[in-house]
């Protein structure tokens, strides 16, 4: 085999290896995403705001990249704080469920925040997820 073909073959194999080793968003890194869930309690007709607080024990979900379903979930702590640890760089979708303030449905609706983790060892704070209760 001639030297040019051998060199080209080696370069092609190395390029394929590097591309195939690219890690998708998800667990296994050293970054984190964190934030708070702000609860707005209204009366039954959503005409009077009764109280606002950071909600404890609320499920928060995360979707890794373009996955179709959530990859993990955590409950908020006493101050409404949640955190997803050990993430790789990439795009994530974080959400919690809320009552429908338009009263069009009784089914809970997701309130979604899109989050980009730009680099390794990066802690990203998400703006408050505001839900109605």
Q: What is the pLDDT of residues 73-123, one digit of tens each?
A: 999 999 999 999 999 999 999 999 999 988 898 999 999 999 999 999 999
- The pTM for the full model equals 0.80
Give the separation between CA 47 and CA 67, rounded to whole angstroms: 37
Q: How far is CA 29 from CA 17, 23, 24, 86, in A?
A: 20, 10, 10, 5
The strand ranges marked E within 1-133 are 27-42, 49-54, 59-64, 72-75, 81-87, 90-98, 109-117, 123-125, 129-132
pLDDT at 4: 58
- Complete domains list, the chain, with CATH: 24-132 (2.60.40.10)
The Cβ of residue 104 has, within 10 Å, a number of other Cβ atoms equal to 8
- Which has the higher per-residue pLDDT, 31 or 2? 31
Q: What is the pLDDT of residues 36-55, one digit of tens each?
A: 999 999 998 899 999 999 99
The 8-class DSSP code of residue 7 comes to H
pLDDT at 25: 79
């Amino acid at each position: 085999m001639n030297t040019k073909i051998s060199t080209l073959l080696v370069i092609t194999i190395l390029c394929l290896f590097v591309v195939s080793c690219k890690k998708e968003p998800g667990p296994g890194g050293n970054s984190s995403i964190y934030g708070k869930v702000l609860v707005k309690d209204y009366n039954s007709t959503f005409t009077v705001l009764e109280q606002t607080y950071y909600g404890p024990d609320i499920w928060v979900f995360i979707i890794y990249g373009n996955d179709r379903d959530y990859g993990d979930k955590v409950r908020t702590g006493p101050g409404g704080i949640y955190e997803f640890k050990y993430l790789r760089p990439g795009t994530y979708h974080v959400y919690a469920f809320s009552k429908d303030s338009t009263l069009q449905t009784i089914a809970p609706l997701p309130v979604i925040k899109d989050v980009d983790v730009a680099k390794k060892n990066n802690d990203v704070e998400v703006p408050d997820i505001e839900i109605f209760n």
